[in-house]
Each structure stands twice: as structure tokens, then as C-alpha cells.
Amino acid sequence: MIDQASGSPMIEAIGLSKFYGPFAATRDISFTVPSGQVAAFLGPNGAGKSTTMKLLTGFLAPSEGEARIGGHNVATERIAASRLVGYLPENGPLYLEMTPQSLLKYLGHARGMKSSSLHDRLDFVAEKCSLKDVWGKAIGKLSRGYRQRVGMAQALLHDPDVLILDEPTSGLDPNQTFQVRELIRSLGETKTVLLSTHILTEVKAVCSRVILINQGQLILDGSVQEMEGDEHDMEAHFRNLTGGPSAA
Ligand SMILES: Nc1ncnc2c1ncn2[C@@H]1O[C@H](COP(=O)(O)OP(=O)(O)OP(=O)(O)O)[C@@H](O)[C@H]1O
């Protein structure tokens, strides 16, 4: 764990705002995730989760604020930061003509992985993400669930210390959902994970911390117990906090 010794948090959002004209997709979002923690990133549709994740991984430039991974500024120390982070974007891999095998090999070489370690990591991700049956099939011909698994495999390929996963179980059947949750749980023993989800049972299953945003702003940063509220009902508390249907 490269930056554990220095005591820096592995993921830092420091006053992150993203404006599209006058509209703020995120406004002044600040939080940190310490090394080894699995944190859930929650919020209703359009709250700004994917935007924040893109800002944290350098896929979008912030209008204001700063993102740091392992202490490295994502904008000014991009290579150092990107070595440390694996990112599963919301829409999965877009290289529809390539097969999982050719895409992952290509990405491994692009990330400067040596052939011997790349070979081992390809075996690892093919196994962990259950891709062996579709290893040589064009990504464009794969189901949504399989595409999601290819996205997960590319996030894990270079064995990064930090994982930023945008709805990792979206589109998966119950068996695969279980398998991916178990994978995240085991990865969380050694890695720092920020994952977005709409499935609140998933939060209890794999996370120890919750960060909740609504309309681009952070509204709760605490434990899973805090997210359950006094009623011990995470869904009801979520609706109350975000102005959902049963809010008083
Ligand atoms: N390129 C863009 N231009 C204008 N508005 C955008 C752009 N990208 C995102 N937005 C808006 O920013 C807001 C936040 O979007 P974002 O995708 O981050 O939400 P989200 O919390 O990930 O939602 P979901 O749960 O539905 O995936 C939304 O209102 C969205 O329409």
C-alpha cells in the first residue's frame, strides 16, 4: 500500500464543483476515504455521483476544487494518480469491435505492464470476473451483464490500490451480483474502494461507510448505522434525506 505510510487518505475530494453553464452538477463536494476502507457513494438519479467519480479519476476537469488519489493531484500528477486507481465507468467499455481478451491485453500494454505480469493478471481477471466463456467474443455482442464484467476486469487489471466503481452490480443477474459483491468484499480487505449503487442492501453487505449526495451537494458522511437512521431503515432514511416520496 504505497501511500499508507505517509498517512494520506487514498481518495480526496476537495471542494469539487462542476458547472455546466449556470447548472451545478456537483457543488463544493469534500470528503476523504482512508486506506483500506470500502465506502458507498449514494444519491438519487442525477445527484452527481458519476460526475464526482469522473472528477476523482481525471476523466472530467473540475470547475473548482481538486481531486487527489494516494496524495497525488489528479490534474497535475495524472500518471502517478492513474497508476494507483482502477475505474469502472457507468457505461462500461466502448470498444465494441474488440474482444475482452484483446481489449484487456491492449490496456495492459498501454499501462506499461510487463508481459509476464500481464499474463498472470489476465488469468486473474478472467477468472474473478467470470469472463472465460466470452473471452474471444466481440464486446459489442455481449449482454449488458457481461459488458459490465469486462469493465470490472479493466478496472482490476493493473492491481490498483484504489477502486472507483460506478454501479458495479448494475445489469448483473443475482448470481453475478453475489459474486461481484464477494469480489468487492475480498478486494476491500487490502484496497480502498468507493462504489456507487442504488441497491441499499448492497451497502450493508460490503461497505463500512456512506457518503450521500443530493442535487450535487454532500448531505451525509458517516457510518452505515448513521445511514440507517433512528428507524434502522436505510431506504426510509434515504427518502427522508433526499426529499423522496415518503418524506415528511
Ligand atoms: N455533460 C453534461 N452537460 C450538462 N449536464 C450534465 C452533463 N453531465 C451530467 N449532467 C447533469 O449533471 C447532473 C448529475 O449527473 P450524474 O450523471 O453525475 O448523476 P448520477 O448521480 O450519477 O445519476 P444516476 O444515479 O442517474 O446515474 C444531472 O442532472 C445530469 O443531467
| Direct distance between the N- and C-terminal alpha carbons of the chain, in angstroms, rounded to an integer | 45
Protein residue with its CA nearest to atom 29 in ligand 1? 46
CATH entry, 11-242, from 3.90.1150.10, 1.10.3720.10, 3.40.50.300, 1.20.140.10: 3.40.50.300
Per-residue pLDDT reduced to its tens digit, 184-215: 998 998 999 999 999 888 898 899 999 999 99
**Ligand 1 in contact with 46 (CB < 6 A)?**
yes
Ligand 1 centre to CA of 26 (Å) is 9
pLDDT higher than 50, residue 20? yes
Domain range annotation of the chain: 11-242
Q: Which residue has the higher pLDDT, 244 or 180?
A: 180
How would residue 243 be classed by pLDDT, with cut points 50, 70 and 90?
confident
pLDDT value at 248 more than 50: no
For residue 3, pLDDT over 70 is answered with no
8 A C-beta contact, residue 54 and residue 48: no
Closest C-alpha residue for ligand 1 atom 30: 46
pLDDT greater than 50 at residue 226: yes
ipTM exceeding 0.90? yes
CA 118/CA 164 separation, integer angstroms: 21
Q: How many helices (H) and strands (E) does the chain have?
A: 9, 10
Residue nearest to atom 28 of ligand 1 (CA): 46
Task: Give, for ligand 1, the residue of 51, 198, 217 to mutate: max count of ligand atoms closer than 8 Å to Cβ.
Answer: 51
% of the chain residues with pLDDT over 70: 95
With a 6 A CB cut-off, is 246 part of the ligand 1 pocket?
Answer: no
With a pLDDT cut of 90, the percent of the chain lying above it is: 69
Residue type, 68: R
DSSP bridge partners of 85: 162
pLDDT exceeds cutoff 80 at 141: yes
| Whole-number Å distance between alpha carbons of 234 and 201 | 9
Nearest CA to ligand 1 atom 14: 48
Give per-residue burial for 73-111: e unless 16+ CB within 10 Å, then b. Answer: bbeebeeebbbbbbbbbeebbeeeebbbeebbbebbeee
What does the pLDDT read at residue 48? 97
Average pLDDT, the chain: 91
Q: Give the Cα separation of 81 and 12 in Å (integer).
A: 12
